[in-house]
Structure 1
Amino acid sequence: MSVLRSRGNWAFPLILAVALGGVSFWLDRITEVKTVEIPLNPKEPKYVINTIHGERFDDNGQLSESIQASAARQFPQQTVIYIDNPDMSLYKNGTELYRIQAKSGQYYTDSRKVDLLGQVNWLKHQVGDEPEGHLQTSILHVDTQTQVIKTDAPVAYRYGMSSGTSQGFEYDKQRGFLNLPARVRAIIYDPHSH
């Protein structure tokens, strides 16, 4: 078991919590679709939205967040929205900082939690002295309220010249706490030590 206090090199995967906090903005908007309450077949979607493309801009008119998906749907009497092929980006000063993609996603409207499923890829672009980072796994559980991200699935990551794998991880952004619970293998390169 490895438990690490987040330093610059270890904080990289979990800016994802902040990025997904922005994504929850879009998912909240989807849930605001007004429908007439009539008895519906619980096996048929209450609504289906195809080809989603949304953008959000900051106070200066620059792009701050975007989300794309091939479809989203919600079933009657359920609090989960199913999303196909989510592709989400977070920008700063109009430049893409993070991009998160998955085969599918599930957004729970009551708890504001997100499950990203199947070929989850997260890319952090290089910014100043911070190198590019990349995280891959098969599933990520994200709590947009507490900003905790976790998975029990194998994880592979690269951050600049550092890289590694782990069986699962958990990150609590508010506490700055990263836990790599099992089978950790890492090559850590500290550019400041040379």
Structure 2
Amino acid sequence: MNSRGHSLFPIIVLLLLAGVSVWLDRVTQQEETVRADKSQHEPDFTADKLTLRRFDLTGKTQYILVADRMVHFGDDESTELTRPRLDYLNRPEPVRMESDFATVSKDGETVVLNDNVYLRRAAQPGKPESTLRTERMTVWPDDEKMRSDAPVTLTQGKTVVTADRMESDNIVGNIRLQGQVRGTLYRNTPTPKP
């Protein structure tokens, strides 16, 4: 009887090894299936009250990005921002951009602002405050460039201009309006000389 138990021992061990092998194979296949399923666009992390500061080569703050909420998605490395505000501080006149919602590209170089996009350039001596309103705008923060394929309304003091599309380079100071461009232009009143 004892020899019969010894002869069954290798068979029992082989059956256990086969069972464990089948189990491991099934478990690893299920994990690969879950990892390969990128159709689920679910956040992998979120943050509330986000503040991001970008510095130029001299160490001065170039811009500050603030958002009420940030949601990052691991499947496509995209980021969504709720109520983002972007303040450029390295200009003679500070500039603020804000919207209700924004998406940030994988590399962080492109920001698409959506819904109630508003830009405000502070007034300077001899130059009144400037604003821009649109529903959608693409911004390249590091290059300080913007483009909107949606209608825009620009104001500077009492001057009001509307256009179907716009491109802007903040560093150079160029704005290019396209499509149906209409406006009422007012001259700045020169400062009287004493």
TM-score normalised to structure 2 length: 0.65
Q: Does 1:105 align with 2:99?
A: no
Q: Please provide the CA RMSD for this pair.
A: 3.4
Amino acid at match of 1:109: K
- Report if aligned partners of 1:53, 1:68 keep a CA contact under 8 Å in 2: yes
- Report if aligned partners of 1:89, 1:96 keep a CA contact under 8 Å in 2: no
Higher alpha-carbon deviation: 122-131 or 168-177: 168-177
Per the alignment, do residues 145 and 131 of structure 1 end up closer, same or farther by CA in structure 2, a change over 3 Å counting? same
Gaps of 5+ in 2: 1-33
Per the TM alignment, residue 156 of structure 1 is displaced from its structure 2 partner at its CA by 0.7
Per the alignment, do residues 53 and 137 of structure 1 end up closer, same or farther by CA in structure 2, a change over 3 Å counting? same
Q: Partner of 1:66 in structure 2?
A: 64
CA distance in 2, matches of 1:53, 1:173: 22
TM-score normalised to structure 1 length: 0.65
Q: Deviations over 1:60-86 (max 9, x none)?
A: 999764332111111123132111110
Per the alignment, do residues 182 and 147 of structure 1 end up closer, same or farther by CA in structure 2, a change over 3 Å counting? same
Per the alignment, do residues 96 and 171 of structure 1 end up closer, same or farther by CA in structure 2, a change over 3 Å counting? closer
Per the alignment, do residues 59 and 112 of structure 1 end up closer, same or farther by CA in structure 2, a change over 3 Å counting? closer
Per the TM alignment, residue 145 of structure 1 is displaced from its structure 2 partner at its CA by 5.3
Higher alpha-carbon deviation: 183-192 or 170-179: 170-179
Q: Partner of 2:41 in structure 1?
A: 43
Identity rate, percent = 21
**Higher RCO, Cα 8 Å, sep 6+:** 1
Greater helix content: 2
Higher alpha-carbon deviation: 148-157 or 62-71: 62-71
Per the alignment, do residues 148 and 62 of structure 1 end up closer, same or farther by CA in structure 2, a change over 3 Å counting? closer
Q: When the two structures are aligned, how many residues end up with a matched partner?
A: 156
Q: Partner of 2:12 in structure 1?
A: none
Per the TM alignment, residue 121 of structure 1 is displaced from its structure 2 partner at its CA by 0.6
Greater strand content: 1
Gaps of 5+ in 1: 1-37
Q: Partner of 1:76 in structure 2?
A: 74
